[in-house]
Amino acid sequence: MGSLPSDIISPLDPDNFLYESSQVLQFIADYYRDVEKFPVQSQVQPGYLRSLSPKAAPLFPEQLEAILADVQSNILPGLTHWQSPNFFAYFQANASTAAFLGEMLCTGLNVVGFNWITSPAATELENIVVDWVGKMLNLPQTFLFSGTGGGVLYGSTCEALVCTLAAARDMALKEMGANGITELVVYSSDQTHFSLQKAAKLVGILPNNIRMIPTSRSTSFALEPSKVRSAMEKDSARGLAPLFLCATIGTTSSGAVDPLKELGQVAQDFNVWLHVDAAYAGSACICPEFRQYLDGVELADSLSINPHKWLLTNMDCCCLWLQNPTTLIDSLGASPEYLKNKASESNHVVDYKDWQIALSRRFRALKLWVLIRRYGVANLRDHVRSDVKLAKLFEAFVRADKRFEVAVPRRFALVCFRLVNGGESEKEEEKEDGDEKGSRLSRKLLEMVNSSGRAYMSHAVVGGKFLIRCAIGGTLTEERHVVGLWELIQEKAALLLENAFIPKKINIVS
């Protein structure tokens, strides 16, 4: 039963705020302390929560202690624990104390900085922070506010793709006329994240005009410039208009890297917008040894990375840089009378409402600013390097076991592997080739590992083969968790394959 109406407190009483927020902080701290104990992948069945919940909202206020108790008993079992050190699926969603503190400040101040005048510090700090990260990546000055470009913080690269596609579309239609939209064509590889297809549809590109160009094992599944050029030549000959090319640094399926210099030249030859989706691996390029993967970025129109994936920045945070922000503003900008003001009309300030889909926006820059200041670039580099070191360790385990293969080259902290050998009967061997067998065995192995609750990985199908993806990079993940994952994989492989040999001890690769 809820509390009596007399217990109602002020919605924003400072003393109560301090008391109750301290309870939530304690709850979260305990969660992180115990997160390793939970099954990584939620074990609940669909609809479980409705049966545990009241049929209607409470009429009177309830005590926070009761609410947190329900979070513990009802909500946590329904979570797949992305912050578990045994989470190796998809890509990591990094979290850190510093980013959490920045998020607290963002939420607590609760400003809505859609234009400069609504909170000058929110806009100007965002200008500063995106330049900081751009300099960490050694981007050309043409992408920075301190040069001739600029950047913006979004929630995800999906938003960045919609906005840059809209800008490219509107630039083209100024010359072609509105009816020309049926002629516009978008290009990427078959490894590009599906969000590009979704974004293209949202801005009006016909589904038949989205080209997902096949990749091959011979190029480690990178997009081949010659194939892109050929596709654009064919489309141009048919009267279509090449519009937008998306290159990826660290594809979701396999971590592939597209060659920016060569693709940039193709884009220039056909006057198409080149966007670089570096959502995952772009963060690694703050380390000098990985910066090579951005060589050629000077030929791109835009670039996006997700600090919430690998730079310890709690969800959500995406950086987008443009060489010519005016193209974005021309497409997304609007100036209703009630938003007009002297600062905006002076053209000396940035109004971020004109850089995004929505009007309202959060003070994300505060989170990224606190993070960078609290840890420093050197520690952020060490964080990336430590994850890569763990990935090399796991890769060595896979290579040392003849039953497994590393399916695609590892460049960052993603290891894609397959179970390919083991005691199947000769009759079954005759029924399917090696690739089919490896895919079937790998699929079974992944199901066994994930259903155990002790670890969680995901999969991809690349070049027609089913691959298990081990994405290392959780904030709490240590060497012992990677070793434990490999022991679990060997344990389940032994159940799956007859006569499998499992060494009792693992020789740690230093």
pLDDT in tens, 324-381: 999 999 999 988 888 899 998 998 999 999 999 999 999 999 999 999 999 999 999 9
Position 209 pLDDT exceeds 50: yes
Q: Which residue has the higher pLDDT, 459 or 2?
A: 459
In sequence order, the β-bridge partners of residue 419 are: 404
Residue 211: strand, helix, or coil:
strand
Q: Residue 416 carries which side chain, given as an amino acid letter?
A: C
Position 427 pLDDT exceeds 70: no
Position 5 pLDDT exceeds 60: no
110 contact partners, CB below 8 Å, separation of at least 6: none
Q: Which pLDDT value is given to residue 10?
A: 83
Average pLDDT over residues 233-261: 96
Long-range contacts: 28-35, Cβ < 8 Å, 24+?
A: 31/76, 32/83, 32/476, 35/81, 35/83, 35/84, 35/85, 35/476
CA–CA dist 66, 459 (Å, integer): 39
CATH: 1.10.150.120, 1.20.1340.10, 3.20.20.70, 1.20.200.10. Which one for 5-76? 1.20.1340.10
- Residue 5 corresponds to which tokens in the numbers above? 């109406």
Residue 273: strand, helix, or coil:
strand
Q: Which pLDDT value is given to residue 437?
A: 78
Q: Which residue has the higher pLDDT, 506 or 93?
A: 93
Say what percent of the chain tops pLDDT 70: 93
Position 216 pLDDT exceeds 70: yes
Q: Do 5-76 and 140-328 come out as alike in CATH topology?
A: no
DSSP state of 75: I
pLDDT band of residue 425 (cuts 50, 70, 90) is very low
Q: Which pLDDT value is given to residue 178?
A: 87
CA–CA dist 160, 153 (Å, integer): 9
pLDDT digits (tens, 9 = 90+) for 474-486: 999 999 999 999 9
CA–CA dist 184, 176 (Å, integer): 10
Question: On the CB side of 45, how many CA atoms lie within 13 Å of its CA?
Answer: 2
Q: In what order do the strands lie in the sheet with 302-305?
A: 150-154, 318-322, 302-305, 273-277, 241-248, 184-189, 210-213
Question: Can you give the residue ranges of every domain in the chain?
Answer: 5-76, 140-328, 377-496
CA–CA dist 363, 22 (Å, integer): 23
pLDDT digits (tens, 9 = 90+) for 171-195: 999 999 988 899 999 999 999 999 9
Q: Are 68 and 21 in contact (CB under 8 A)?
A: no
Position 502 pLDDT exceeds 50: no
- Residue 106 corresponds to which tokens in the numbers above? 């963002």
DSSP state of 257: B
Question: How would DSSP label each residue in 134-145?
Answer: HHHTT--GGGST
pLDDT band of residue 435 (cuts 50, 70, 90) is confident
CA–CA dist 394, 484 (Å, integer): 10
Q: Are 228 and 214 in contact (CB under 8 A)?
A: no
pLDDT band of residue 438 (cuts 50, 70, 90) is confident
CATH class of 377-496: alpha beta
Q: The tokens 């005009």 sit on which residue? A: 209
Question: Which CATH architecture fits 140-328?
Answer: 3-Layer(aba) Sandwich (3.40)
Please, where are the H alpha helices in 335-478?
342-345, 364-400, 426-431, 434-451
pLDDT digits (tens, 9 = 90+) for 262-281: 999 999 999 999 999 999 99
In sequence order, the β-bridge partners of residue 460 are: 467
Tell whether pTM > 0.85. Answer: yes
CA neighbor of 223 nearest in space, from 270, 258, 255: 258
Q: Which pLDDT value is given to residue 508?
A: 53
pLDDT digits (tens, 9 = 90+) for 80-119: 999 999 999 999 899 999 999 999 999 999 999 899 999 9
CA neighbor of 287 nearest in space, from 368, 154, 148, 389: 389
**CA 87 from centre of chain:** 15
